[in-house]
Structure 1
């Protein structure tokens, strides 16, 4: 590898949005670092992309030492540069807050928030050393307005969105760009079975392929835009939640799912 070849470090790369992003960037000649707890998925990905184009490693994003070791092995393979850090790893565990197991709550916070904090904190030196680098993170449409039924997940994604905004200001001092993607319903393994098929065929809650997010990561590298929405209609919810939070709350409270729960006591 030479320092002229651009590189991307992707967490949650074994499937879904992370895997499609790895495929897209490898196809454009980038060196890909692919990380996940799913080692079988990573091996399949490396076979597909080729060992010369893809470095894989099991990574627990909640373990700071593990993250540091992953970056330490990635840096020389990537020629000492990190053009994009894509903090994509996440888990989705939901249910009514008062009924959700405490262990699930902690796990969601650890992976979706602490994993992002650790990744950025440990990657800052490499990002600083790479001209025009991008720190990019997967947030969620649930970061536009708190989503009932996935309250803790939504809270972590709100935190990611706020972190992105704050660091986009701080990191300007050393030329590192910061942005995020707020996906709606993406057809990946994180969804419950049948959810994509049952989704509306149009509008902001239509099911989108994971390739749509991969394309956004590519576009974000060419841009200075802060928030990216997949699909773009999610931006409308973001605006509504800011301008009329009470109306947004009341509209969501009238959805069939939550009316059924209230009637059931």
Structure 2
């Protein structure tokens, strides 16, 4: 087995996945990238130390493809996977009644089923490098308290938090750490997307109109590094996420009141 530690990152073609790749690559890790965007992954790979990265094009919704991807990466990495960053995800916003069946199913399949499949496929690899190996799930501030105009997205991220907590218990005896990142609005290309098919307004515009802060993506990468190397179960990233976490725990009544009186839902 190689002595160089290895991390495999889904959604590695851009955004948070790319930032995590650059952080771990700079720390001397062998980096694997998984995404449906081969061109984006190639761009990410060019930013990493030469010869210490691997790209695999696949869809996280395909359970069998997970096994192929991780087996191939493990071989490329010298027989080990120390961290799986379960990061692939897509946004969806707007009132639930405005979301199409196709939009709902795609978000559930990528954000939640993809994370479940990734955890299942990664288990034997992480057990091999335990103790100290880690499943790192990307959740969201939307998984701390349900967000109006993001019911489907919030549901998937609550699910990712639940997956993290469940596996933290299930895999403890195997020496596998399970952690989550809960970022607020992060400065990535996802902010340029429309929340749903019924609006042309970008997520970024809605966030800016609401007066919310947009956190640099480098902060998520630093938080990912810290999460992998600490005992903290959930790591909140960004001012909005930290404020929401505090308020949901200590002032739930106030959070509910503010939520019910908030402005139009994201995407409407």
TM-score, normalization by structure 2: 0.89
**105-114 vs 46-55, greater mean Cα deviation:** 46-55
SS of the residue aligned with 2:25?
Answer: helix
CA distance in 1, matches of 2:106, 2:252: 29
**Does the alignment pair 1:92 with 2:91?**
yes
Ranked by relative contact order (alpha carbons within 8 Å, sequence separation 6 or more), the top structure is: 2
Q: Unmatched 5+ residue regions in structure 1?
A: none
Count of aligned residue pairs for this structure pair: 256
Distance verdict in 2 for CA 1:255–1:59, change over 3 Å = same
Task: Give SS of 1:72's match.
Answer: helix
Evaluate the alpha carbon distance shift between residue 153 and residue 194 of structure 1 in structure 2; reply closer, same or farther with a 3 A threshold: closer
> What is the match of residue 149 of structure 1?
149
Following TM superposition, by how much is the alpha carbon of 1:235 offset from its aligned partner in structure 2, in angstroms?
A: 3.2
Deviations along 1:130-159, one digit per CA (max 9) or x if unpaired, are 131011010000011111111001001001
Deviation per CA, 1:13-67: give whole Å up to 9, x if none.
0000100111111111110000111111111222332561110011100001111
Contact 1:200 1:207 in 2 (8 A): no
User: Quick check: 1:83–1:133 contact (8 Å CA) kept in 2?
Assistant: yes
Residue 204 of structure 2 corresponds to residue 195 of structure 1: yes
Counterpart of 1:35 in 2: which secondary structure? strand
Query: Would you say 1:82 and 2:91 are equivalent positions?
Result: no
Per the TM alignment, residue 238 of structure 1 is displaced from its structure 2 partner at its CA by 2.4
1:5-16 maps to which residues of 2 (within 5 A)? 5-16=4-15
CA distance in 1, matches of 2:111, 2:256: 24
Deviations 1:85-130 (A, max 9, x none): 1000000122110111110000000000000000000010000011
Question: 1:33 corresponds to which residue?
Answer: 32
1:201: how far off?
11
2:255 aligned to which of 226, 238, 248: 248
TM-score (normalised: structure 1): 0.90
CA distance in 2: counterparts of 1:18 and 1:40, whole angstroms: 14
Q: How does 1:160-179 map to 2 (within 5 A)?
A: 160-179=160-179
Comparing 154-163 with 240-249, greater Cα deviation is found at 240-249
Distance 1:68 1:239, change over 3 A: same
